[in-house]
Structure 1
Amino acid sequence: MEDSEPAGLMDAVTEFGRHLRGERDVSPHTLRAYQGDLRDLCGYAARVGVTTPDGLDVGLLRAWLAHQHASGRSRATLARRTAAVRAFTAHLYRRGILPRDPGPLLGTPKRHRDLPVVLAQDEAARLLDRMDATGPVGLRDRAVLEVLYGTGVRVGELCGLDIDDVDMGRGTVRVMGKGGRERTVPVGGPAAEAVRDWLRAGRPELATGRSGPALFLGARGGRLHPTSARRIVHARIAEVGEVPDLGPHGLRHSAATHLLEGGADLRSVQEILGHASLQSTQIYTHVSPERLRQVHRQAHPRGTE
């Protein structure tokens, strides 16, 4: 398909999806989102009489985005759809299907980013210290929450871990992140201890022939699924009580916030979290004004009270 020109706009979207999956190695979530956005563009274009990719121009794209805005789409959705169409038109231009790329002429709506809900440090300690960690399921759940909070990994990254990805001697875990980017993340003492207990006394009880090398297992012995991991986090928080209800991503937010509160620099936190852009990490600088005041008092020549 790469050598032939797509006959219609939807054909071009399908071919672009194959390109993203095979050559760009984007995440399944991003692929689904982009293809959904571009299908919506195809529907709008068809209603105004454009059914082939060479009919895309900046006027049509701006009209489509204006229609999205009028329909009440959020700024985050508009920003993603703008990114999707820019990637699409750049691909068409590279292939010679478009004589010029209209994508760079599109403005990018600024995304409004709500501050993430995070645990206070004492709440995180209360959650992890009060958890019932008896039996194989209890040992697994304790290890899951300790690793999520102790490393700041995404829930999909956690579920993708194999036993060999954990290096107890070095106190690190090898993580395969978004876009196939691999990184090594430090693992603190409590998380490493929880993983050792799970591997010694928990995992052998749940393991079956279908377990393979997976570090964390579901109740039937297969690799733990992200949906199950989310359910585990919510259930364990509910059992402990007195702690705000949040999911695995909330533990990731908490880990990043507490790292910065403890004095970690933004670049190090970016590396630990696996953010491709420092901009994604900067949201955490807004979470702890007390930490910023402390730094100001310590570093500024007239910052003392």
Structure 2
Amino acid sequence: MEKYISQFIHYLSVEKGLSNNTLESYDRDIKLYCSYLKDQHLDIKNTTRTHIISFLMDQQKKGKATSTISRNLVSIRSFYQFLTKERILEKDPSLHLESPKIDKKLPKVLSVQEVELLLHAPSLDDTLGLRDKAMLELLYATGIRVSELVSLNLGDVNLGMGFIKCFGKGSKERIIPLGKVSIRMMAYYLERSRPHLKKKVEVDALFLNHHGKRLTRQGFWKIIKKYAKSTGIKKEITPHTLRHSFATHLLENGADLRAVQEMLGHADISTTQIYTHITKTRLKEVYARSHPRA
């Protein structure tokens, strides 16, 4: 079974061009499913639709979230499709299995005032503060994912033209414009901060840690948590919060949904549409607070 899983992950990587995080997720899901089959003394070649449903029900009994179970099924389906395509299996038992319906949770967003508080939290008097300010401004200016932020190289930024180039899910390239504040802070970082962080070895990474190496997602998580705590903002702030706030604030100010979809790198516009629900909810809250007959 390990051989099939390894071949499947290689196929997803080479032919589908999926990111490392997505590949790890597929690998984890399939190994979990195969472990369940082993406990039931089943070979994957003898599995049926009933066995897949039993596995999903077992995950539900263990308290797994609907979103996790739905992702499990997506991984299992893809695995069976691969096994059928490679003629390891004659039939795909996962055909026509419906994913459990997931209630879409509205992402947490910050108000414009709260974003201002967060963006002004880093000190501009030290090397790391300048770097952090540049990163936060860039995130809010572009709405890129944190994984995309830490993957940026020096050559991906064009301050003269005012844009960045980043590679999203499936290695899809997109160009995103920068605002004046972000351009200014990036220039300050590149001139006054990055040369001090860079050690003797030349690195392409745009954002460096205090060791002179590429900043990691975990490193950025700690940074944003530190500033969130220092501002006293009561809402939970995650690395994705500025992305959500970027999209919501654009739509609130009349941006075109398709343009926001392109900037966020969403393959499906329905993913972007969730932000329109946020703006409607906020409008209702404002109306309820402000209208004399609300």
Same fold (TM over 0.5): yes
Matches of 2:41 and 2:281 in 1, distance apart?
56
Structure 2 distance, partners of 1:208, 1:262, is 43
For 1:282 and 1:153, the matched residues in 2 are separated by 17
1:14 to 6, 9, 14: 6
Residue correspondence of structure 1 range 199-210 to structure 2 within 5 A: 199-210=190-201
Match of 2:145 in 1: 154
Partner AA of 1:41 in structure 2:
Y
Q: Which amino acid aligns with 1:179?
A: G
Distance 1:14 1:56, change over 3 A: farther
- The match for 2:180 among 186, 189, 193 is 189
**C-alpha distance in 1, partners of 2:200/2:140?**
30
Shift in CA distance, 239/149, structure 1 to aligned 2, threshold 3 Å? same
2:76 pairs with one of 82, 85, 88: 85
Q: Write the mapping of 1:101-250 to structure 2, written as runs, cut at 5 A.
A: 101-242=92-233, 244-250=235-241
After superposition, the Cα gap between the structure-2 partners of 1:99 and 1:242, relative to the gap in structure 1 and judged at 3 Å, is closer
Unmatched 5+ stretches in structure 1? 1-8, 294-305
User: How high is the sequence identity, in percent, across the aligned residues?
Assistant: 37
Distance of aligned partners of 1:86 and 1:242 in 2 relative to their CA distance in 1, 3 Å threshold = closer
Q: Structure 1, residues 215-262: CA drift from partner, whole Å, max 9, x if none?
A: 111011111111111111121222233463412211111111111111
Cα RMSD (Å): 1.9
The structure 2 residue matched to 1:100, chosen from 67, 71, 91, is 91
Query: Is residue 58 from structure 1 mapped to residue 49 from structure 2 by the alignment?
Result: yes
1:225-304 aligned at under 5 Å gives the runs 225-242=216-233, 244-289=235-280
Q: Deviation digits for residues 146-191 of structure 1, max 9, x if unmatched?
A: 0111111111111111112111122110001111111111111111
Are the aligned partners of 1:149 and 1:251 in contact in 2 as well (CA < 8 Å)? Answer: yes
Q: What displacement does 1:39 show? A: 1.4
Instruction: After superposition, give the CA deviation of every residue in 1:95-145 in whole Å (9 maximum; x if it has no partner).
Output: 112212222221111122321111101211232245421121111010011
Distance in 1, Cα, partners of 2:74 & 2:201: 40
CA contact (8 A) 1:238 1:245 kept: no
Choose the corresponding residue for 2:37, options 45, 56, 59: 45
Match of 2:19 in 1: 27
Q: Which moved more, 1:240-249 or 1:173-182?
A: 240-249
Higher mean displacement: 241-250 or 82-91: 241-250
CA contact (8 A) 1:162 1:213 kept: yes
Q: Report the alpha carbon displacement of residue 290 of structure 1 after superposing the two structures with TM.
A: 5.9
Local SS of the residue matching 2:235: coil
1:193–1:92 Cα change, 3 Å: same
How many positions carry a matched residue from both structures? Answer: 285
The amino acid across from 1:173 in the alignment is: I
SS at match of 1:183: strand
- Where does structure 2 lack aligned partners over 5 or more consecutive residues? 285-294
| Distance apart, 1:268 and its partner CA | 1.2
Q: Secondary structure at 1:39's aligned position in 2? A: helix
Residue 30 of structure 1 aligns to which amino acid in structure 2?
A: T
Give, in whole Å, the separation in 1 of the partners of 2:14 and 2:212.
31
Q: TM-score, normalised by structure 1?
A: 0.87
SS in 1 for 2:174: strand
Contact 1:211 1:217 in 2 (8 A): no
Partner of 2:290: none
- Give the Cα separation in 2 of the matches to 1:292 and 1:141: 32
Tell me by how many angstroms 1:73 deviates: 1.6
- 1:131·1:240 contact (CA, 8 Å) conserved in 2? no
Counterparts in 2 of 1:107 and 1:245: CA distance versus 1, 3 Å = closer
Query: Is the 1:261–1:291 contact (alpha carbons within 8 Å) kept by the matching residues of 2?
Result: no
Aligned-partner residue type, residue 254 of structure 1: S
